[in-house]
Amino acid sequence: MRVNMSRNSAFQPVNFPVDFFWGVTHNVMLGITHETGPRFNTGVQNPKFRDTYNDVGFGSVIGLADGRNYEVDLHAGVPLHRLSPDVWVGAQFGILGRANFARTVAFVYDPSLYFGLNHHDEGNQNGIDLPFWFYFQATNIVVPFVGSGLRGPFQKFGDNYAIPLEGGVLFTVGHGDHIGVDLEFPDLFGNNGTPRARQIGFIGQFRF
């Protein structure tokens, strides 16, 4: 769950970017993804359905290599960033990886390329996203983390790039199950960066 905490618009909106993945084989997962997901408290008078739900995607994760101190996966998907009034179709490809530098420190990275397949002039532009995180295993249950990265459209990248900053903590509540909270500044250091845009996230990761 993502809760907008920006100045003059706190709690507007509240998003639920929920992903569901199913293991097809030992190394392959297929899923349904959301960048935004259901949205509530949008501030729109007489909201239509598209003001509450207007994106979905289809993704896959393929394991390439793994070991005790590393993991590398390929992820690819077809996100539909907007469903109404026109469907925005895209293709996304990237690498999801983890490298343990010590028993208590892990570096996680998720670089990806996005290609808008239609409606370029309306905003469905090609772009790059280079996020990364550091996780610190404080105890068997408590895992603080910090993250940043670089993202932006290929076109006029220098004018529109963003550099986020986030920090939070995860709690292990079961085998492969985690809950947590984080504070994110979506563009703190970019070309148009500001500390006024911020959001709180409530994290849940569960395996069944």
Would you write out the chain's pLDDT as a tens digit for each of its 208 residues? 999 999 888 889 999 999 999 999 999 999 999 999 999 998 888 888 999 999 999 999 999 999 989 999 999 999 999 999 999 999 999 999 999 988 899 999 999 999 999 999 999 999 999 999 999 999 999 999 999 999 999 999 999 999 999 999 999 999 889 999 999 999 999 999 999 999 999 999 999 8
Q: Are 99 and 106 in contact (CB under 8 A)?
A: yes
Structure tokens at 97: 């990886």
The CATH number of the domain holding residue 115 is 2.40.160.40
Q: How far apart (Å, rounded) are the C-alpha atoms in residues 198 and 191?
A: 16
- Look at the chain and count its residues: 208
Q: Which domain holds residue 163?
A: 2-205
Structure tokens at 170: 């995860």
Report phi then psi at 50, rounded to 5: -70, -20
User: What pLDDT is attached to residue 134?
Assistant: 98
Structural domain total, the chain: 1
Q: How far apart (Å, rounded) are the C-alpha atoms in residues 114 and 191?
A: 20
Three-state DSSP state, 116:
strand
Structure tokens at 39: 């949205």
Nearest to 80 by CA among 42, 33, 147, 27: 33
Structure tokens at 166: 């986030």
Q: Are 202 and 173 in contact (CB under 8 A)?
A: no
